[in-house]
Structure 1
Amino acid sequence: MNESQIQLIVKISETGSFTKAGEELHMTQPAVSRAVAAIESELGTKLIKRNRKNGLIFTDVGERILIIFRNVLSELQKVDELIAAEQGLEIGKVHIGAYPTACTRFIPKIIRTMEEKHPGLEVKLSEGSVDQVKEWLRSKSIDVGIIIPPDKDFDVVPLMKDQLIIVMNSNHPLYQKETIGIPDLQDEDILLGRGGYEVQIHALFKDFKLKPQVRFVVDHIDTALSMVQEGLGITITTKKNILSLPDQVVFRELKPNTFREISIAVPDMKDISKATGVFIQTARTLFTNKGA
């Protein structure tokens, strides 16, 4: 088993396609198929199977071997980084996973700063839900992720706090109140956003022995804002989750001041590459203690 074969299997898992993996590695589709067959023959087990509904999927043993292959490539990357450092050069790769708000609000600034200060480092970004980012970390598909706690599966570094707000139509009676607490929301139709809000909001209501009256659950803040604009309910989000508000949509801070934690997570802090360390340091320099 050589590095090229390991790279091929990992690339197939990333692209979900023999053809796309071949294109990125400058191989024809037949050559990829032959290489995979040779690897499976050498290992004596099936790694990948075709599924009419889901396309290419990895077998159970294939998924476990994938994690090992990713670890191998990570260790080889560290060797390259050490050799480059010995020669006075800086190289490396970091694969970041982040949920949409993070990708919109602060990941671009982190990447731009890294490219300016560390031009030899290669950055890759995957965007997904908070749950997807956590799953990518578990499978080691990414090196580092931006997540919303809690999660005890990873080593976590606090990044920032983001203040919770209540977003409503300007005609809503709650807007006339100077302060809004959770008890004020007990009879309100809640538009609940996915992406790390669910657990915290249910916990906030539970503290008052209440249960949120959830009317709709949405994936994107723009959907929630449009519904608020139409008077379909209120939503609880954070200040950094909103770039601008539609007409007739306003907000009040939740009192007492309540925050959502945003963290950087890695599978094992003792085992990160130099490039991952640069990402973490850059992110913390730019954003830690600069929350809402």
Structure 2
Amino acid sequence: MMNLSHWRLLIAVADLRNISRAADHVGISQSGASQAIAQIETVLGGQLFVRERRDVVVTAFGEQVLRHARAMLTQFEAIRALADAGRGLNTGRIRLATFPSVLGTLLPPMLSAFKRRHPGIDVVALEATDDEVETWLAEETIELGVVLNPAPERGALIIGRDAWVAVLPSRHRLGRQSSEQGVTLAQLADEPFVLATGGCTVHAHSLAAEQGVTLSNIRVTVRDLASAAVLVREGLGVAVIPQSALPEDQRGLRVMSLQPPVYREFGLVCSRTGRASPAVQAFLREL
């Protein structure tokens, strides 16, 4: 069954001439976009795009379909604008604070999609530590904050979840174990350690402490999660970082699961001002 997100994907592919960039633009994975296009072509009974070496080219049939799709979305956005104006959503501002690892990964496609649908609402994204996010929520300096592992009673909207993994130099002795077998924090306790905080109080040191383990040989502490993998590759030590922070180029690295597995969740939490804001509530509904 086709929906508005399918039509938006088709238009993005036609405009950007690239499925990967179009997938990023609408906030889905490349594999998900390719599957959706294949399903749409099956439903419509014709080929919409031709995949060439570097570009995606629209077919003659695709041009006809896209002309109608663009007109349909234009009319839909006009209807949405009327509805927004009736609910006071034609203008407004949302101040949203988050720590760096989420600001650079999860939020951009969400914010872009919301801005396209509600151009009159400004969303101001602020980078902060997790402690600062909590302080700003309490002081109502912001309407929304990304909270790490929020308690159920806070009514957070969960927007992401990933696992913590150990990152070792490729020739490290612990890397001889299978990835499925993984490593424990106790096995890493005495290793030269690169501690990456990501601007949060929850990191390898606090995770180890929860298990009664002390990291006794911390050589360097960095805020940027991606920097930790670079330092590990250079032989400065081992690190524990979220899976989402792993670099695309993992040459020289051995990535191992943690045993027992440890996860982190990101949740959007409203301040009192945010709960009363029509713009904020529209943002949460769309997510």
Task: Report TM bin, short chain.
Answer: 0.5 to 0.7
The whole-number CA distance in structure 2 between the counterparts of 1:238 and 1:210 is 19
| Identical amino acids, percent of aligned pairs | 23
Q: Residue 257 of structure 1 corresponds to which residue in structure 2?
A: 261
The whole-number CA distance in structure 2 between the counterparts of 1:207 and 1:96 is 30
The whole-number CA distance in structure 1 between the counterparts of 2:197 and 2:130 is 9
The whole-number CA distance in structure 2 between the counterparts of 1:151 and 1:135 is 16
2:161 aligned with 1:157, yes or no? no
1:189 pairs, out of 181, 187, 192, with: 192
1:271 pairs, out of 250, 255, 275, with: 275
Give the letter for the 1:85 counterpart: G
Give the TM-score normalised by structure 1. Answer: 0.60
Kept in 2: contact 1:146–1:265 (CA 8 A): yes
**Which segment drifts farther, 239-248 or 121-130?**
239-248
Kept in 1: contact 2:106–2:160 (CA 8 A): no
The whole-number CA distance in structure 1 between the counterparts of 2:203 and 2:129 is 16
Q: Residue deviations 1:182-204, cap 9 Å, x none?
A: 22212212222223654453454
Q: Residue 144 of structure 1 corresponds to which residue in structure 2?
A: 144
The whole-number CA distance in structure 2 between the counterparts of 1:270 and 1:100 is 21
Kept in 1: contact 2:160–2:266 (CA 8 A): yes
Give the letter for the 2:86 counterpart: A
What SS is found at the alignment partner of 2:260?
coil
Kept in 1: contact 2:137–2:144 (CA 8 A): yes
The whole-number CA distance in structure 2 between the counterparts of 1:226 and 1:83 is 47
CA offset at residue 270 of structure 1? 7.7
Please provide the CA RMSD for this pair.
3.0
Give the letter for the 1:163 counterpart: A
CA offset at residue 246 of structure 1? 5.2
Where in structure 2 are there 5+ consecutive unaligned residues? 1-82
Q: Residue 70 of structure 1 corresponds to which residue in structure 2?
A: none
What SS is found at the alignment partner of 1:236?
strand
The whole-number CA distance in structure 1 between the counterparts of 2:238 and 2:84 is 56
2:135 aligned with 1:135, yes or no? yes
CA offset at residue 132 of structure 1? 2.6
Q: Residue 174 of structure 1 corresponds to which residue in structure 2?
A: 174
Structure 1 residues 280, 243: CA separation in 2 closer, same or farther (over 3 Å shift)? farther
Kept in 2: contact 1:103–1:127 (CA 8 A): yes
Q: Residue deviations 1:109-128, cap 9 Å, x none?
A: 01111023323322211122
Structure 1 residues 200, 86: CA separation in 2 closer, same or farther (over 3 Å shift)? closer
Give the letter for the 1:267 counterpart: S
2:220 aligned with 1:216, yes or no? yes
Give the TM-score normalised by structure 2. Answer: 0.61
Kept in 2: contact 1:162–1:262 (CA 8 A): no
What SS is found at the alignment partner of 1:159?
strand
Give the letter for the 1:241 counterpart: A
2:106 aligned with 1:102, yes or no? no
The whole-number CA distance in structure 1 between the counterparts of 2:213 and 2:100 is 30
**Which segment drifts farther, 232-241 or 217-226?**
217-226
Q: Residue 40 of structure 1 corresponds to which residue in structure 2?
A: none
What SS is found at the alignment partner of 1:158?
strand
